[in-house]
Amino acid sequence: MTDSYNKYFDFCPQCGIEQFLFYRGRKYFKCCDCGYEFYFNMAASVVAIIRNDKNEVLFTIRRHDPAKGMLDLPGGFVDPGETAEAAIVREIKEELNLDVCEYRYIMSSPNEYPYGGFNYHTLDLVFECTVSDQENIAVADDVSGYRFINLREVNADEIGLESIRNIIAYLSEPEKPEQ
């Protein structure tokens, strides 16, 4: 973790005492008075790779910060009680009005998502998705636009989040021969 979480908690959230101390490599807090424990765990998020008939990848343009106006891949947070598979279908419908008819898990990528003065640590679960029809794309939710881009032509400086840059770099690697 690159951020010091000590700045987020001056007092125990349960009893209010000032003795709320870090343990276990800055992932864990424990109150010296009431014993309340707080763990920083990753939140799950999903990311879709959707290609057109030219093998270009569908990128979205972020409507809000972090990285407002920059390129992203469609997706979002997994809701409590929801599977990653249900989340990818829901997020693509919410953001782009597209119906996912097939998906295949590809990889994961850790991410830090700054929001409201706090860095949320997420694990992006990446799915290759096939949609039933790309003709009805309509941006909504936290997407302000979209572009299909050939992976060899993507400018990493236009991508707003590090995990998405890492995913694109991974997908852009040449195929390695089987051994």
| Distance, first Cα to last Cα, the chain | 35
User: Residue 135: which CATH number?
Assistant: 3.90.79.10
Q: What is the pLDDT of residue 176?
A: 46
Residue 116 belongs to a domain: yes
Exposure string (b/e) for 133-147, b if CB count within 10 Å is 16 or more?
A: eeeebebebbbeebe
Residue that has been written with the tokens 């407002």 in this structure: 68
Lowest mean pLDDT among 37-41, 81-85, 126-130, 173-177: 173-177
Residues 124 and 163 in one domain: yes
> Would you give the DSSP letter of residue 178?
P
Global pTM value: 0.83
Q: CA quadruple 63, 66, 71, 73: dihedral positive or negative?
A: negative
For residue 84, report the phi and psi dihedrals to the nearest 5 degrees.
Answer: -60, -35
Residue 178 belongs to a domain: no
Could you give the number of structural domains in the chain?
A: 2
Average pLDDT over residues 14-37: 81
Per-residue pLDDT tens over the stretch 111-154: 888 877 777 889 999 999 999 989 999 999 899 999 999 999 99
Per-residue pLDDT tens over the stretch 58-112: 999 999 988 999 999 999 999 999 999 999 999 999 999 999 999 999 999 998 8
Residues 62 and 107 in one domain: yes
d(CA 80, CA 44): 10
Residues 30 and 117 in one domain: no
Residues 52 and 102 in one domain: yes
128: domain range?
43-172
Residue 47 belongs to a domain: yes
Residues 10 and 93 in one domain: no
On whether the CB atoms of residues 95 and 87 are closer than 8 A, the answer is no
Q: What is the pLDDT of residue 3?
A: 46
